């Protein structure tokens, strides 16, 4: 199985901060990488697919990049609604696997 790791596992940030979350796959997955946002008690929300394509309706403060094994999600200016847990996921091959998540806290 392809293992997905994320760093950091958690971070504290202030409103307006630029936040960077990284995701690494244990083997190359081309660009078959998605990012999700999950708030407590809610279902995950899709932010990004194909490593860098924003879903319809996702604000442009989110950006993502990467290919192969290393990927990045950036939130350009953190707002109150962005405090959540972020997961990456590979869909290059079965079983589809998720990273352990990065929890973004308010500083």
- Please tell me whether residue 34 binds other proteins under the rule CB under 8 A: yes
- Please tell me whether residue 16 binds other proteins under the rule CB under 8 A: no
User: Do the Cβ atoms of 75 and 11 come closer than 8 Å?
Assistant: no
> Quick check: bond before 43 cis, omega within 30?
no
Which residue(s) pair with 63 in the sheet? 74
In this complex, which beta carbon is closest to other proteins, that of residue 81 or of residue 94?
94
Residues numbered 53-72 forming contacts with other proteins, rule: CB under 8 A: 55
User: Cα(39)–Cα(62) distance, rounded to whole angstroms?
Assistant: 16
For residue 82, give the 3-state DSSP assignment: helix
For residue 20, give the 3-state DSSP assignment: strand
- Please tell me whether residue 87 binds other proteins under the rule CB under 8 A: yes
Q: Which residue in 2, 25, 35, 36 binds other proteins (CB under 8 A)? A: 36
Q: Which residue in 2, 25, 32, 71 binds other proteins (CB under 8 A)? A: 32
- List interacting residues with other proteins (CB under 8 A): 32, 34, 36, 38, 42-46, 49-50, 55, 87, 89-91, 94-101
């Amino acid at each position: 199985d392809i293992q997905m790791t994320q760093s950091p596992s958690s971070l504290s940030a202030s409103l307006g901060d630029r936040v960077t979350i990284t995701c690494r796959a244990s083997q190359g997955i081309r660009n078959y990488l998605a990012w999700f946002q999950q708030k407590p008690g809610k279902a995950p929300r899709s932010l990004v697919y194909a490593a860098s394509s924003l879903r319809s309706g996702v604000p442009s403060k989110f950006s993502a990049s990467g290919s192969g094994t290393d990927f990045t999600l950036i939130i350009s200016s953190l707002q109150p609604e962005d405090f959540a847990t972020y997961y990456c996921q590979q869909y290059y091959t079965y079983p589809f696997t998720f990273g352990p998540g990065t929890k973004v806290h308010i500083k």
